Chains A and B, each alone.
Chain A
Amino acid sequence: MVPPQYYLLLSAAVFCIGVFGLLTRRNALLFLMSVELMLNAANINLVAFSLYWGNVTGQTFTLFTLALAAAEVAVGIGIILVLYRNFDDVDVTNATTMRW
C-alpha cells in the first residue's frame, strides 16, 4: 500500500498549482480552473485519510464535494458570462467598479 504521505504530497502540489494559477492569471476562466484544482486537492486529502483509517466517511464526503463543485462551476460560469457581457472581456483586473 502506498504510504499516506505520498498522497499528501500530491495534494499539496495540486493545491499549490491552484494557488499559483489564482495569483498569476487574469483570465476568469483560468481562475475557475485554479479553484477547481484547489478543491480537488482537498478531495485527494479526504480520500487518502479515508483509506488510511479504513473508514468510508471521507470518500462519501468527496462524492458530495464533487457534486458541489459541479454546481459551483455552473454558478462560476454564469458569473463569467455576466462579466463578459458587462466588460467585453474576461480579464478580472478590468472589473474594478466595486472598489472604494
Chain B
Amino acid sequence: MAGILDFAPAIVLLPFLSFLIALGAGRYMPKGGALAGIGATAGSFVLSIATFFAVSGGQTYNQTIYTWAEGLDAINLTFGLLIDPLSSMMLVIVTLVALLVHIFSLGYMNDEGETGLPRYYAGLGLFTASMLGFVVADNLLMAFMFFELVGLCSYLLIGFHFRQDGPPSAAKKAFLVTRFGDYFFLIGVVAVFATFGSAAFAGPDAFPVLAEEALAGEHSVNTFLGMGEQAWFTVVGLLVLGGVVGKSAQFPLHTWLPDAMEGPTPVSALIHAATMVAAGVYLVARMYGFYVLTPTTLAIIALIGGFTALFAATMGVVKKEIKQVLAYSTISQYGYMMLGLGAGGYVAATFHLMTHAFFKALLFLGAGSVIIAMHHNENMWDMGGLKDKMPVTYYAFLSGSLALAGIVPFAGFWSKDEVLYETLIHGLGGSPILLAAYAMGLLAVFFTGFYTFRMVFLTFHGEPRSGTARDPHGVRWNVKGPLAVLGVLAATTGLVNMVPVEKLFGIEGIDFLHQFLDGSFSSLNAHHYAELIPYSSGYIGGEAGTVAIGAAVSLGFALGGAALAHVLYNVPEPVEHTDKLGSIKTVLYNNYYQDEYQVWIATGVVQPISRVLDKFDQGIVDGVVNGISSVSLFAGGRVKRVQTGVVSNYAALLTLGLTALLLGLGLLGGWFA
C-alpha cells in the first residue's frame, strides 16, 4: 500500500529536523532559525492535510516502525504509527497551530528584539515534534514517552526568560505538578503491560479490545491485588487518568497552568491550544475504548471535568492580567472536554478539542498582539479603547471571544452545546452524577460568558486608561496574518458538526465530524464507542425538544453572562466592582487557596514524613552498613598488633600454634585416653 500515508513519519520528523537545525545552526541563520521552523511546520501541515484527506477516503495506517526492545517470549517494546480519523484530525490541528505560532513568533520575539532566539525556535520545534509523536503513537508506552517529552519542552519554553525570577520557578512548578500526575500514568502503563501483555491501541492485540473480550468472558487476563476484572480495569483506568489530570490541568493538579503564563505568549498559545494541555484529553480519547468499559472511571472523569469547568471559570472572573483570564478559561474549557468524554460524548469532546484549539490559539495570539501593543504590560486595567487602534486584532479577538463564550454561530457554541447535550441526555437516562456534572457545566457557561466579555470590554472598549493604551505600538503582518486565519476558523469550524440543526430541522448528513469519526478501525470508531457506553439516554419532550431546550438554556446563560459584563464593564470608565463580592473576593483572588494548601501538604505533611523516612534511611539502613564496617575496622585495629616485626615473636607464635595443633589433635584423636 504505497500512498500518502507512508509519508506520515515525516510529519513528526520535519519539526524534529527544524529543532536540530535551530539548535545547531540557528545563530548563523537569519531570524534565528525561525525560517527552518516555519518551513518544517508548513511541510508537516501540508502532509497532515493530505493525510487527513486520505483518511477521509477510508485509508488507515497502523505500522510498527521500530522495535527498540525485543522480548523473548514476552512483550516487544516498539515505536509505531497509528493514523486513524482521530489522529489525522489532531495532526491537522497541531501542525496548523504550530505553523501559525511560528509565524506569530516572528512578530512577538524577533521584532521585539528578544535574545536567545535559536533556543526558542529549537524549543518550539521539539515541542511540536513531541506532540505530533504523541498524536500518532500506536501504543501506550510510546505515548507515555512523548507525553514526557512534551512536558520537558513545556519546561524549557515556560522558563525561556530564565534570567528573571518568575519564569524558572513557573517552569519548575509546571514540570513537577505534571510529573506528579505522570507518575501514576507510568504505573498505569506498567499495569496495562502486566494485564494484557500489549499496549497497542489498535490491531489484533489492542488492549481495549482485549479488555472488552475479557469482560465478556471470552478469555482471561492477569489481574492483581485479588480484584475482579471490572475493578482492576477501573484501577488501571484511574492510574492512567492521573497523567491526564496533570497534563490537562484538571482539578486538583491545575495549579501549574496559570503560572505557566510566565512563558512567552506564543508558547502559551501552543501549550494551551494544541500541545501539552490537549495531550491529556487526547489520551483519554485515544484509549476511549478502554474507558467506556469502566462506568466508575467515566463518572469520575465527568465529575472532575464538570467541577473543573465551574471552578476555574469562577477564578477567571476577577483576574487583572489578560493572560491569566485566558489561563483559567483554558482550564475550564478542558474541563468541558473531560465532561464530554466522561458523559459518553466522544465525538462532542473531540469536537470541542478541535474548536477550542482554534479559538484558544486565536485568543492567546490576540492577547500577544495586545501585549506587543502595550509594551509588554498585561494588566487589563491599563488598557481600554484599543479597538479603534488595532481593528484586525479586535475583530479576530472578538471572534475568538464569541466562540469561547459559546454564542451562536461561532465554533464554541456548537461544540460546548454538544458536550452539554450529551451530558444532559445521559444524565436524564438515569445518572444523577451526570446531572450534577451537567449543572456545574451549565453554570460555568454563565461565568465563561461573563469573564470573556469582561476581558474584551476592559481591553478594547471604553477610554484608554494609560499612556501606552492611548498610543499603542503597532503590529505587523506576521501578527495579523495568523490572527486573521484563526479568526475565520473560530467563526466557522463549528459548522462541521451542526448536530442541533440536524436534530431540530431533520436535515440529514450535516454532522460531518460524526461521520468522519465513524470511519476506519472498527474497534476505534465513534460508532463502536456508542455501543459500549454504559449510559442510557432520556429526553424531555422528545429528542428535538431536548436539543432545543439544552441549546436555548446554554445560549441563554452565555448571553446572560455577556450581558452582565456589558452592564458592568462596557462603560467609558469601568471600575472593578469586586467589592460587591465581599469576602468571596479575597478567596477568588487567592484562587481558593489552592497553592497554599498544596504547599501546606508539601511542607506540613510530606516533609515530616520524608524526614522520618530519611531518619530511617540514615539511621537504620545506613546504620547497619556503617556498623559492620566500624566493627571490622575496630577488630582489624586490634588484631594487626600481632605483626610486631620481631622475627622471634613470629617464631614463638608458630611454635605455639604447632603445639596447640598437636594438643588439639591428640585430645580429639584420643592419644591420652
Contacts and interface: CB of A to CB of B under 8 A. Distances in A.
Interface of A: 19, 22-23, 26, 31, 92-93, 95-100
Q: Is the interface of A mostly helix, strand, loop or mixed?
A: loop
Contact of B651 (A23, A97, A99): A23
A81 to B, nearest CB: 16
Contacts of A31: 647
Given A22-B655, A99-B645, 16 more contacts: A22-B648, A22-B651, A23-B648, A26-B648, A31-B647, A92-B647, A93-B646, A93-B648, A95-B647, A96-B644, A96-B646, A99-B643, A99-B644, A100-B640, A100-B641, A100-B645
B373 to A, nearest CB: 83
B652 interface: yes
Contacts of A99: 643-646
Interface in B636-661: 640-641, 643-648, 651-652, 655
Contacts of B640: 100
Nearest to B651: A22
Nearest to A34: B651
Contacts of B646: 92-93, 96, 99
A17 to B, nearest CB: 13
Nearest to A98: B645
A31 B647 CA distance: 10
Contact of B652 (A23, A26, A92, A95): A23
Interface residues of B, number: 11
A31 B646 CA distance: 13
B648 A96 contact: no
Nearest to A94: B646
A97 B655 contact: no
Interface string B607-641: 00000000000000000000000000000000011
Nearest to B652: A23
Contacts of A97: 645
A92 B645 CA distance: 9
Contacts of A26: 648
26 contacts: A19-B655, A22-B648, A22-B651, A23-B648, A23-B651, A23-B652, A23-B655, A26-B648, A92-B646, A92-B647, A92-B648, A93-B646, A93-B647, A96-B644, A96-B645, A96-B646, A97-B645, A98-B643, A98-B645, A99-B643, A99-B644, A99-B645, A99-B646, A100-B643, A100-B644, A100-B645
A45 B82 CA distance: 91
Nearest to B636: A100
Give the residue among A19, A26, A95, A97 with the most B Cβ atoms within 10 A: A19
A96 B646 CA distance: 6
Contacts of A93: 646-648
A31 B651 CA distance: 10
A97 B644 CA distance: 9
Contacts of B644: 96, 99-100
A5 to B, nearest CB: 16
Contacts of A92: 646-648
A93 B652 CA distance: 13
A31 to B, nearest CB: 7
A98 B646 CA distance: 9
Contacts of A23: 648, 651-652, 655
A25 B646 CA distance: 12
Nearest to B642: A100
Nearest to A83: B647
Interface string B46-71: 00000000000000000000000000
Contacts of B655: 19, 22-23
A30 B646 CA distance: 15
The 9 closest A-B pairs by CB, nearest first: A99-B645, A96-B645, A100-B640, A92-B647, A100-B643, A98-B645, A22-B651, A99-B644, A93-B646
Contacts of B651: 22-23
A98 B641 CA distance: 12
A21 B647 CA distance: 13
Nearest to B643: A100
A98 B645 CA distance: 5
A47 B643 CA distance: 37
Nearest to B637: A100
A95 B645 CA distance: 7
A19, A22, A100: which has the most chain B beta carbons within 10 Å? A100
A26 B655 CA distance: 16
Contacts of A95: 645, 647
Contacts of B643: 98-100
A88 to B, nearest CB: 17
Question: Of residues B644, B648, B655, which shows the largest number of chain A Cβ atoms within 10 Å of its Cβ?
Answer: B648
Contacts of B652: 23
A92 B644 CA distance: 12
Contacts of A100: 640-641, 643-645
B263 to A, nearest CB: 65
Contacts of A98: 643, 645
